[in-house]
Amino acid sequence: MNDAHLHMVVNHFPIIGLFFGFGILLYGIIRKNTPLINTAYTIFIICMIMGKISMFTGEKAEDIVENLGISHDLIHEHEELAEGFMKVLYALGIVSIFGLYLNGKRHSKANFMAYLAVVLSLVSVVLSKSVGTSGGEIRHTEIRKNPVNANHSAESESVEKK
């Protein structure tokens, strides 16, 4: 397994986990169910860790993919979106750690943390869609705004650079 393959394996966890975590957190808040809220926090913390691993593997995968003739612009756009996404995901992970702690202490600010986590997880879910789509567009030409044959695309880009 090379770094590009490892990146593809790990990068799905933060995106999919966020969707599950958001739903579980929302349901936990509505039902006033602390164990469900804690489950969502745990999912968000795992998403943050997997997101960091995804960023690390993405840096190494970039060289491999660029050597395949993929546009640097597509990769750079994906990288920029991922960096912005990770800032929000780090904040969500930290809020989740505090949320777990406050729930364990039955602190009066525990509800505030849950609502803050809902907002951050919703923002993360929205950003994850952009990051995932831009990553998919790197190798899946069929999902780009103007789908083209992959071989034709590589030839066109090399002609445009000359």
Dihedral sign computed on CA atoms, order 28, 121, 106, 50: positive
Cα–Cα distance for residue pair 6/65, rounded to 1 Å: 13
The count of structural domains within the chain is 1
State the pLDDT at residue 150.
47
Query: What is the residue whose two structure tokens read 């660029």?
Result: 66
Cα-based distances in Å from 29 to 35, 44, 152 = 10, 15, 51
Residue showing tokens 């951050």: 120
Q: What is the pLDDT of residue 14?
A: 95
Q: Please enumerate in sequence order all residues whose Cβ is within 8 A of that of 17, keeping only pairs 6 or more positions apart, or say none.
A: 43, 44, 46, 47, 50
Predicted pLDDT at 156 = 47
Beta carbons of 18 and 44 less than 8 angstroms apart: yes
Q: Which domain holds residue 151?
A: 3-161
**What is the chain's pLDDT, residue by residue, as a tens digit (162 residues)?**
888 889 989 999 999 999 999 999 999 999 999 999 999 999 999 999 999 999 999 888 888 888 887 778 888 899 999 999 999 999 999 999 999 999 999 999 999 999 999 999 999 999 999 999 898 888 776 767 776 654 544 444 444 444
What is the reported pLDDT for 137? Answer: 83
The domain spanning residue 21 has which CATH number?
1.20.120
Closest CA to 39 of 24, 18, 49: 24
| pLDDT score for 72 | 82
Q: Which residue has the tokens 């190494």?
A: 60
Q: What is the spatial distance between Cα 153 and Cα 159, in angstroms, rounded to a whole number?
A: 10
pTM for the model stands at 0.84
Alpha-carbon distance 27 to 51, whole Å? 24
